[in-house]
Structure 1
Amino acid sequence: MPVPARLAPLLAEYDFACERLLHRLTGPTMDSGDGEQVEVPPLTDAELLWEPVPGSWSVRRHADGPGVGATVLVGAGEWGRDGGRPHPWPPPVTTIAWRINHLTTILAGRADHTDGTHSLTDDSDEPQPTATGAIAGLAAATAAWRATLLRADDAALDTVGYSTYPDGSDAEDVFLDIVWWVNQEVVHHGAEIALLRDLHLRLA
């Protein structure tokens, strides 16, 4: 099925943002933005869980309980992601692990609630405490959402509630607006992750 004209630039933006983010995490090099390839060391487990300030929200063992200001650890299995509402003010600084898992659940969840089983939730997700596991989960989620986009036609783009993802405005917005929103999630969280990598290199 051909990509609708309205979707094509958003799909290109999504592909570019995902490629940059994954290369920023895995290396060995990435485009600096002007065509120059710069060296990028692969993300380590210690860097994944590095807390840049005291009280950072992260991914933790359920047995250890939530971090400062969090009221719950979200997720199944041994590990969960700090969360809870209402969020504290000012918003907590979050680790690379937290940000990767947040992106992973957004992408995988929306893919599933658009043309999948409509069953995935944050509570059923299993946050990964290793760099290898976290990156693999993110890569799979980015691919799942891309596959969902490729199945959307013009009618789908104009449909309110085409995605039934429960943790967003999907029930009230046309699908094209959701596509735009997911792109900005990848762009802005990807930039935050890149900055944390720069800080870890110099401060940890």
Structure 2
Amino acid sequence: MKASLAFCILAALLAVGACLQCEVCSGPGNDCTGSLQTCTLGEDTCGVALTESTFGGEKMQNIIKRCLTSSLCKDGPMSMSFGTGMTTRTIFACCVGEACRTVNVTVPPADTKPNGRHCLGCYALFSQCSGEITECTGDETQCFQMAESITYGENREQIVMKGCASESFCAQTKVGQWTFGGVTTNLTLVKCTSGEGGVSSG
């Protein structure tokens, strides 16, 4: 016990988050419950990520609770638009300890005012991503292009996305691989360019 305590104190001096434990869960809606897991180095807070997606005029929400890097909570909502009425908006809330039991996260309304930027928007599974010119709105001032593979069980999906995105999305989204809730995501491409002055293919 003393050795474990000493390790935690030393780790706390070397890197924030070494002995922090957070509730980990995910699911549809705006709440979930799960077990406590120890955070890795660099993850200095517990947090909640709530995503609201719109597809074909229907809205749905998904929540994730897990260890986070607190820098995620310093930015505003991360938003993307793929054209043809497809959008996602994600808001992060950070908390530690008892505060995590009562933290309430809501996705603020989208700013639908056009900002003068335009990008090619599309979303494709297992195919070339060809779409339409999308008018960017609100804080979505960047054109983005993403490619990822998602593996769950024996199933594997290849996804390509292009569209308008907020600067916070471009700053926080990095190439890499992670597993959460039995689903492995391998993000192989993230590219953002300014949509200023006309149309960009991302």
Higher helix share: 1
**TM-score of the superposition, structure 2-length normalised?**
0.26
**TM-score of the superposition, structure 1-length normalised?**
0.26
